[in-house]
Amino acid sequence: MQPREKTHSHSHSVMTLKEKEKYIVNFKFPFCDDTAKYEKVAKIGQGTFGEVFKAKEKANPKKLVAMKKVLMDNEKEGFPITALREIRILQRLKHENVVNLIEICHKRASQQNKCLSTFYLISEFCEHDLAGLLSNINVKFNLGEIKKVMQQLLNGLYYIHSNKILHRDMKAANVFITKNGVLKLADFGLARAFSANKNGQPNRFTNRVVTLWYRPPELLLGERNYGPPVDLWGAGCIMAEMWTRSPIMQGNTE
């Protein structure tokens, strides 16, 4: 008699796969608009963790946005922590020289997409990235323009560092420029908050950050207690690149 009691109560508490799927498909995310409000125009690249599309708002077709898909394929624990971190950081940062996150949208879960909701980071659309401009021989920068690029780059960095955020992936490809010439720091997929520890304990951050060619010496030598200077090294590499037109330290190995 007893074991039957047990299994009986057990079956009530566990959702069947069908019920689970139905629950997920019908679930409404109250603070996330549906991606249907945007229409994809073209695929424009791959970010640290997902594809990026150029899209326009259906209600206002003149308004262009970038839609960055959050990769969920290898997630066992719900929402990817890297994406969550990037979203939280971008929500905190509002500055002319930092790319603006407009909202998070989701595509409804359905039988077609294995009952996984797809999420997109919707941000302002920037026509160019600095790496693309520098590799284009038809684009010329005069001294004044190089100064203007660097001024905006350093303004953006000063702002994020003042807000206790490290970018940790400074490179020409992550520096966007709008058609009006406004520079935006982008791709905060490796960024993190930092603080000086109160008790004088050193930080233990990972040193496996920053694309190799832009990685500062202290990280290459294994330092884990670092701060804003790691981003400034990258800014210096980018500044030199404004003249050389290609990364100045293209090492193959650490």
So where are the chain's domains?
A: 15-124, 128-244
d(CA 208, CA 160): 21
Radius of gyration of the chain (CA): 22
- Report which DSSP code applies to 98: B
- CATH for the 128-244 domain, from 1.10.510.10, 3.40.50.300, 3.40.140.10, 3.40.50.1860: 1.10.510.10
Tokens representing 31?
């603070």
Specify the pLDDT at position 138. 98
Over the stretch 188-205, which tens digit does the pLDDT of each residue have? 989 999 997 778 889 999
Q: Which CATH class is domain 15-124?
A: alpha beta
Tokens representing 95?
């500055």
Does the annotation list 68 as a binding residue?
yes
d(CA 233, CA 167): 12
Distance between the two ends of the chain, CA-based, in angstroms? Answer: 67
Catalytic residue check, 169: yes
Specify the pLDDT at position 9. 47
Task: Please give the model's pTM, rounded to 2 decimal places.
Answer: 0.85
Is the confidence at residue 215, as pLDDT, over 90? yes
Catalytic residue chosen out of the listed positions 129, 169, 187, 231: 169
